[in-house]
Amino acid sequence: MTATPQTSAKTPRTERGRKTLRLILDAAAEEFGIRGYHEGSIARIAQRAGVAIGSFYTYFDSKEAVFRALVADMSRQVREHVVPCILAAPDRLAGERAGLAAYLDFVRTHKALYRIIDESAFVAEDAYRRHYVDVADGYAVSLQQAFGRGEIRGGISDGDWQVRAWAIMGMNVFLGLKFGVWDDSRPVEEIAAAAHALIADGLSPPR
């Protein structure tokens, strides 16, 4: 029998409760980012958040529950940071450049993101898969809409939107790892410009 995933169903109803939940999630990101899931502890999460152990259990039943909530929360934070930058651009190609710059900026200030998402593949595989699938599905739809506006070239078939979405996501994920987590010395705009040239022009030789 497959175990039911542990998630938090304790949504805070007050502003104070929402602030406490935010403190716990931020503390969990720090704890898991430094120690990893298996070495991380509820006691240290509570200590980092400045709350009592009992307050932790007001919102989460277990370490797995807070970890799952954290994966979903970080996924949401990435989208909220990146999507407005894409939408504010004059067209989709410019939006891809702006979106990558915003993503690199986010990663540089949330370096625990990669460790947490990668560990979720082993701790909560369904949450790990949902993180990427949800992003890719939305990405594919937005690319198709940009094509409808005449901002980008179409593919060979309708299924190409998924292929393109996953391809661009894959590029961004590894650019974030290299130039966000491992080496943050180069300006994000410089990295975004190089990637933008690849997306806009491909690898075809000059005509």
Reported as a single tens digit per residue, the pLDDT across 155-164 is: 767 668 999 9
Residues 6+ apart with CB under 8 A from 103: 78, 81, 82, 172, 176, 180
Q: How far apart are CA 22 and CA 29, in angstroms?
A: 11
**Residue type at position 132:** Y
pLDDT computed for residue 1 by the predictor: 33
**151-171: average pLDDT:** 87
pLDDT computed for residue 9 by the predictor: 46
Q: How far apart are CA 4 and CA 105, in angstroms?
A: 36
- Check residues 205 and 165 and name the one with the higher pLDDT: 165
The model's pTM: 0.88
pLDDT computed for residue 158 by the predictor: 65
Q: Which residue has the tokens 């975004």?
A: 192
pLDDT computed for residue 12 by the predictor: 83
